[in-house]
Structure 1
């Protein structure tokens, strides 16, 4: 991963506000299927032991093995089952306690997550619908320790899992996001721009000085391209025109500064707005709420977390 990409990933991870809940932790035996679809939330399934198959609408079945996992960033039709191509949908059966793995059983930790703010939603908007992690992936070797800790907390009532499992899953999710940043399959967004050598210096300058005059001509000049060539290649890489990308980047940075406690006025000036009204309109368009309301909500969440 390049220095520019590495810096961006750390910035993105520091901006994510994630809340995870565990639905159940236990094991299934015999023929079974299970799903977390239909709740309007992101969800996850971690395979603690045994094997199963992930079925996503329109895709071939995906085999999952011990210490593999899937994070569904959006609520899409899917289910897990004991069979790769069931002639009929296996029954829904009760999950059993994970006290001792039975022969042929599959142990799972399943749950939901959501992003507490619009900035986090914006960050992952260009990511795939679901992310698969594999136990044999050397770049995720550190995640094996998290599976050990999750297994150590598992057991007992499947529907009343240890709250530590939710926190451990959040850490695992951050490993997954960093892992995604290293892949070539990212189609668009900030990470795809950072991974392109011709755009990485430009992105670094835009992040350090978002309030500068970042016209398309100035961007093209810094990227050492003609305006026409820059415009075409930038859209190919990011999936959007430079001006729209700049607007989203500025509002991401603004949201992060407001979350950190900066004033609306100082934040607006930092990202290039001298008009409070213009900044408020831009912020509402991208983030979904007024900057003052966003700042107050962020401070309230921080205060609540300190009390808890």
Structure 2
């Protein structure tokens, strides 16, 4: 059972390097566009300013992770000896991506607390501070690998108290969530899912809500609609999409879609396409 691959096969993440090396000055990041951001402070001192939260100072190698668009400001002087490697992140599905939604707005961790990522991180720093042929392509792929390893770290350490990653870290809920992710068209019932968890229906429903933060039915609805949104963005017709995500007819999917989003599939798709055109490249 691979808890993350089922998610990532549907909702991938891609990265684009935009800074590597010494850093000095003041820069506002994330004030336009729809990207998240991932920064690795290799050494030195860095001041971070977040809206409404004031100043935070980092003076040890650290991970600074913004899964969703969030304006933030960096500041450092030449005397700080700051070295940063930074990338923008595009989560497939944008704000509807289940992985990015499962993470906090901002996550910071000392790199020393994440031994599992050290080999990839060392390779990232080696590539970032040299001028090897193909370094940009390598760095972008390494950032994508590191996002997955960060997710592994959060699950292994049960760092999330509630939400999707909390559920995937739970030994009883992980097979349930993975099965729903891998087989969204299956006729799932509370009884079938409870059997997968090895629990009674009442205990399973209560435990799922405590760990994931929503009912089993609401989670299955949100997952199916997120998949439907992805397929509609790809230009697939409603008639095919409805069956692929577990609904008997386009009208049944449309009802579920409206319940989840407040919009019909056609209205949602039009607004999504209009927004895509409006966002600068």
TM (norm. structure 1) is 0.66
Query: Is the 1:188–1:237 Cα contact (8 Å) retained in structure 2?
Result: yes
State the 1:132 CA deviation: 3.1
Q: Give ranges in structure 1 of 5+ residues lacking alignment.
A: 83-92, 94-101, 155-160, 298-308
Deviations 1:145-178 (A, max 9, x none): 1221112149xxxxxx967654543443333333
Q: 1:267 to 1:188 in 2, by over 3 A?
A: farther
Give the Cα separation in 2 of the matches to 1:36 and 1:208.
36
SS at match of 2:83: strand
1:146 and 2:120 matched: no
Q: Which has the higher helix share?
A: 2
Higher mean Cα deviation, 181-190 or 278-287?
Answer: 278-287
Q: Could you list the runs of 5+ residues in structure 2 that have no partner in the other structure?
A: 273-281
Separation in 2, partners of 1:59, 1:162: 33
Choose between structure 1 and 2: higher strand proportion: 2
Query: Kindly tell me: are residues 171 and 206 of structure 1, through their superposed partners in 2, closer, same or farther at Cα, counting changes over 3 Å?
Result: closer
Residues 1:63 and 2:58 are matched in the alignment? yes
1:80-99 equivalent positions in 2, closer than 5 A: 80-82=74-76
Task: Give me the CA root mean square deviation.
Answer: 4.0
Whole-angstrom CA distance in 1 between matches of 2:136 and 2:155:
30
Return 181-190 or 14-23, whichever deviates more: 14-23
Higher relative contact order structure (alpha carbons within 8 Å, sequence separation ≥ 6): 1
Q: Distance in 1 between matches of 2:159 and 2:196?
A: 26
Residue 185 of structure 2: aligned partner: 211
Cα deviation code 1:195-225 (max 9, x no counterpart): 2222233334434543343333443454344
What TM-score comes out, normalization by structure 2 length? 0.72
Alignment of 1:1-308 (within 5 A): 4=1, 7-29=2-24, 32-40=25-33, 41-56=35-50, 57-58=52-53, 61-66=56-61, 68-76=62-70, 78-82=72-76, 104-118=80-94, 121-136=97-112, 137-142=114-119, 143-153=121-131, 165-252=139-226, 265-283=239-257, 290=265
Deviations 1:56-91 (A, max 9, x none): 45487352434x331212333543344xxxxxxxxx
Does the 8 Å CA contact 1:44/1:71 hold for their aligned counterparts?
yes
Residue 277 of structure 1 aligns to a residue whose secondary structure is: helix
1:106-132 C-alpha deviation (Å, 9 max, x unpaired):
122344333342486233202111233
How many matched pairs?
265
Q: Which has the larger radius of gyration?
A: 1
